[in-house]
A and B are shown apart, each in its own frame.
Chain A
Amino acid sequence: MSDTSHYPVWERDPVLTVEHLTMRFGGLVAVNDLSFNVGRGEITALIGPNGAGKTTVFNCVTGFYKPTEGRIVMRHGKAGKADDIAALTRGGRQSATSADGALFLLERMTDFRISHHAKVARTFQNIRLFGGMTTLENLLVAQHNRLMVASGFTIGGIFNLPGYRRAREAAMEKAIGWLRQVNLLHRADDPAADLPYGDQRRLEIARAMCTDPHLLCLDEPAAGLNPRESAELNDLLHYIRRECGTSILLIEHDMGVVMEISDHIVVLDYGVKISDGTAFEVRNDPSVIAAYLGVEDTEVEQVEAVLEAEVQA
């Protein structure tokens, strides 16, 4: 057995492994033979110019699209030896549970199972809160499954058995804890649609966290935020990684956010991975600079600013 301790976390202990992912829409290849890992307990950023295929990757991971080719493995606990994954892939099942943990092949799973069993949560570029429900209710919906099990599939709930009552109180406590964390406790009973934009973003992340995810996928969480709100978002993501141990995969255009919080950055361009490494490695990678400078005029300033900051530092 070779010593792997000097390898980065995403190679030693990945929570998510994407292998040879390809997604075609008719003749258009949105993602082409993409492979990368998300390290357990790390913040991984997926960046790239507009139209690079980042959101397509998210849609494949969260079951919105069925990939044309490729395998997406989600690991809970220590499970995930190569043999086990190969056996599961051959077996045609969606998941395998062992003493070490559990394995899930996300490309075989759809809608609620992704969240319920594989414990992957996501947010969207455009906010998708339940606008007509209160802030608190939004967080309670996310705890639906735990409550359903506790209520013995409604029967215990009807008779209000002690077990269900305890679960309900725990759910309420958790929701309130998250409201406090995102500074929205005073708006608990307001409709979610009435909150300001930045608050809605944070609430959406809190709601995703209420599903107890092992992996949290955030699609442009900083889009449309002002600098102060961006800073609050950074704090929230740091808190999530520190206190909850949840691994985070995010798409982001705001390089300030990306460079500050990411442990690991994967760069896509035209559906192909062009760079993969730490923030330091990626921003010195000539192909990344070329992709940004050569393709998108609007990104020029950003890359220059990043490079300049690098020189000064």
Chain B
Amino acid sequence: MKKRHFKHEPLDALRDADPIVAERLPGVGDDPRAQALFEEITSLPIEEEAPSPTRAPKRSWIFQPAWAASAAVALVAGVVGTVALLGGSPSDPPDTQTVPTNQTPPTAAAAPIAGACVEQYDLETLANRDFAFDGTVTSVDGDQVTFLVNQWFRGDQVTEVTLTATGLTGGALTEEGVPLEEEVTSIGGGLTLVDGERFLVAGSDIFVWSCGFTQSYDPAVAADWAAVFEG
């Protein structure tokens, strides 16, 4: 389960191809246009004062987007749809007076947003994973988690394995190093890989998958997993 190496690292190649030299952009203090925009925006009514407006001002020389006349301008804050990422057709942004019921603010999710998972977990999709095992966490270092494998269902058959578990290790700490409870559940869908605890773990490449593909150990589920990977 090794990462593929290229002669030229593609991410470096992409960085070098950045079309914009960000250092050339002036700060707000040196940009009269930015200062004028700030003044114009902060003169706008806020929701409590004017419940009906849904569009930015059109008379100002700043707010003259040709396309805005036919598009709803104001978006519900924090609503970033996962539909586009799944290849669907993004709907027009909703009016500011309504909150879409099929979307949640990305920062408020206590469980994975529908579509936020790479795949939906079931025993059929589980069977497609590169590796699966019953293991106990022995160390957590950033998003690198090491497991002592109790039983392999599919995989390398080694005693110990270290995998990348992005979003499953908590990550937000107080100054004392104690995880902030609200952060622990906001990213990994409620599951956090904790040193000393036992999990059923599945994934592909070098990644541990969330969204049910990794879950707290349960003997009945373990028996299902064993059956999936038999033969």
A joins B in a complex: no
> Which residues on B are within 8 Å of A, measured CB to CB?
none
Chain A residues engaging chain B, CB cutoff 8 angstroms: none
